[in-house]
Structure 1
Amino acid sequence: MSMAPRHRPFLTAGAAFEIGLKPMEMAQWLDVGPDHAVFMAAKRARLSGCPPLYYRTLERSRPAQVELLRLVAANLLAHHADAFAGSEALLQDLIDGSSHDLTSPQREPLASLGDMVEEDFVLFGHEAGGDVVIAASNAYTSSGRIVSCVGRDMRFAHEPVPRLNEELGARIDRVIGNVQAGKPVVRFNWFVTPIASRLFPEASHHANVAAGEAVARDLAADHGQAGELLWLRVERQTFLRLPETGALAFGIHTYSDPLSSIAAERDSLLALQRLLESYSEARLAYGGMLATRRPILRWIAERLSA
């Protein structure tokens, strides 16, 4: 039987795009998943050599990188002692046995973070009256969009999202700009995909759409397979203002659970049904769910009537 999903943002989500920031305790900032060792091996392989599709920094981001690395190490030692031990200079991963020299001049601090924790991090510097991306390490998605934002604001990353900048761009800028040191916040995105891996393949959006169209053909013959062939992908986004440099640390942690993991959860099924019935075609297409919406709804209806 599948483990229950860690997060269910769809329970409270609306049909329109929402910012949905909520307060978060520092003990909740970082997460260590049950597949930590396997996942970190794959993540390190993807980030090896800091390929420009996944990693880019500006020189002026170095002080913020140093501060972020120090805060992450302290947080792991304080709140994840079952998984990490050592000091803020040398950290040992008790799950996979890896050691991390946090003072090495040979590596950028953000690169060290990419090898150490499941979270991806993007750093914003407050420049020219707004928050500008000054460094990014983003292994979860292979679109390269977030990394290409380095030197720009987040509106550039949001351009592919239907009507997001037009409807919420100014508010997103304002909300991000108002995140205060010592008061971290969290929000979530979610969608249903045939791709199980937490690390998306190359050309991630096109790959997701193509995979959705392919699995929809299988589900047209037997929608009962939806629970096993589709996955709930949840992206947890955290925002933390660094007290010394004033930079904003944007953390990304992605979860992937089989759709079958909520088969017995009536509230979750009703929430997915409500959202899939109310999303616009543009919203469904962006999430790669246009082809799979009908078989998912049929699968949900059967679960609800069982």
Structure 2
Amino acid sequence: MSFDFDHAVVAPFRMQPGLRRLHAGAAQLTPARPGARHQREKLAVLGAFAPQALVADPRFDPMPALHALAAHAATEHPRHLAWDGVRARALGVAVDAAGGVAHESAGAFGQGDEVARCLRALPAGWRLAGLLALAFEEDFAVVDGERGTIPWLAVALPSQWAPEAKVGRPFAEVHAPVADNERLLAAGAHLLRLVTGPERWERFVWTVTPHPRLHAHPARVDSWPVTTGAATIASQAWWRTERQTFIPLPALRQAVFTIRVQVLPLAQAIDAPARAAALHDAIASMSDAVLAYRGLAGVRDTLLAWLRRRADAPRA
């Protein structure tokens, strides 16, 4: 996983920005393997729920940021995506400046028919975004540092938040539902200056959830089982993480925000006593407000009991 466990899972747990600089040469995008989990779920979401995943402030022109994202992707992964300033090609499919879709049968990445059908069903202005979303595991949004808003989102795999409810809203409103958000809100203006400046940044987010899918729109998420024994909870718990990065566009005071979601069974992710101990201490230190916000209030004690036993287990 791209998630940095040792950096991100600490106690006491605090809701804070947690930004760190990306070192030179660090990749920000992950090519989606044809037919693999990220691509399958994104195709399903774009086919059934595109108006919830692809949202924009109608007054905002996303094309400069979208073209910069395509150029960045082609530089970082030239074998996966080609970009000539007018046309992006990946997965055996090309999208031109007018939103025309061409299925290139010689494409090396397969799935071309299904991807082309999906893109043609989207409005023309969203097809380049759709191609980039299907070519990479990451979701994308544009941060506007001038206005302090998120005016454009292509987010097929949200983590229990609704993209359509966030678009165009100020930073403080977007993060108002976050529990214990005082530090985050206080740093809002500074964060916007950082991520829309010349440097590249990343941060990590994690939670434990009963929801097994990458797509976790709040209208379509699973609940914890009624049985609350530690073994039952642990067997149905999932370790959900995000690596978030910012591709800066300082001349525009914008940044492309990338979100890579990964989900693993909890028992697979927490595979060593040290990890179990670290996660135990982080969850044990969460406030009641954070536990409620993350949906962990009802299972906190059983999760802690399971983690304590795992932390104390002798090494194999």
TM interval, shorter chain, is 0.7 to 0.9
Tell me, which stretches of 5 or more residues in structure 1 are unaligned? Answer: none
CA distance in 2, matches of 1:242, 1:148: 25
Alignment of 1:247-262 (within 5 A): 247-262=254-269
The total of aligned residue pairs comes to 282
Relative to structure 1, is the Cα distance of residues 278 and 70 closer, same or farther in structure 2, using a 3 angstrom cutoff?
A: same
Paired residue type of 1:197: R
Paired residue type of 2:175: H
CA distance in 2, matches of 1:71, 1:279: 38
Q: Are residue 138 (structure 1) and residue 147 (structure 2) matched?
A: no
Relative to structure 1, is the Cα distance of residues 45 and 244 closer, same or farther in structure 2, using a 3 angstrom cutoff?
A: farther
Indicate if the aligned counterparts of 2:3 and 2:242 stay in contact, CA closer than 8 A.
Answer: no
Indicate if the aligned counterparts of 1:192 and 1:232 stay in contact, CA closer than 8 A.
Answer: yes
Paired residue type of 2:192: I
CA distance in 1, matches of 2:302, 2:209: 13
Residue number in structure 1 paired with 2:201: 185
Using the aligned pairs only, state the percent identity.
23
Q: Are residue 232 (structure 1) and residue 232 (structure 2) matched?
A: no
Deviation at 1:119, TM superposition (A): 1.0
Relative to structure 1, is the Cα distance of residues 239 and 50 closer, same or farther in structure 2, using a 3 angstrom cutoff?
A: same
Q: Using the TM superposition, name which of 256-265 and 57-66 deviates more.
A: 57-66
Indicate if the aligned counterparts of 1:54 and 1:142 stay in contact, CA closer than 8 A.
Answer: no
Indicate if the aligned counterparts of 1:122 and 1:133 stay in contact, CA closer than 8 A.
Answer: yes
Relative to structure 1, is the Cα distance of residues 12 and 43 closer, same or farther in structure 2, using a 3 angstrom cutoff?
A: same
Relative to structure 1, is the Cα distance of residues 219 and 71 closer, same or farther in structure 2, using a 3 angstrom cutoff?
A: same
Which string of whole-angstrom CA distances, capped at 9 and with x for unpartnered residues, describes residues 214-248 of structure 1?
x2x3232xx22444311110111112212453321
Deviation at 1:171, TM superposition (A): 0.6
SS of alignment partner, residue 187 of structure 2 = helix
Paired residue type of 2:139: D
Tell me, which stretches of 5 or more residues in structure 2 are unaligned? Answer: 100-123
CA distance in 2, matches of 1:197, 1:86: 30
CA distance in 1, matches of 2:183, 2:197: 27
SS of alignment partner, residue 44 of structure 1 = helix
Q: Using the TM superposition, name which of 286-295 and 173-182 deviates more.
A: 173-182
Indicate if the aligned counterparts of 1:186 and 1:237 stay in contact, CA closer than 8 A.
Answer: yes
Deviation at 1:101, TM superposition (A): 2.4
Paired residue type of 1:23: R
RMSD of the alignment, in Å? Answer: 2.7
Q: Using the TM superposition, name which of 269-278 and 235-244 deviates more.
A: 235-244
Q: Are residue 197 (structure 1) and residue 191 (structure 2) matched?
A: no
Relative to structure 1, is the Cα distance of residues 231 and 104 closer, same or farther in structure 2, using a 3 angstrom cutoff?
A: same
CA distance in 1, matches of 2:133, 2:179: 30
Relative to structure 1, is the Cα distance of residues 63 and 262 closer, same or farther in structure 2, using a 3 angstrom cutoff?
A: closer
CA distance in 1, matches of 2:61, 2:271: 50
Relative to structure 1, is the Cα distance of residues 302 and 12 closer, same or farther in structure 2, using a 3 angstrom cutoff?
A: closer
Deviation at 1:46, TM superposition (A): 0.9
CA distance in 1, matches of 2:274, 2:33: 25
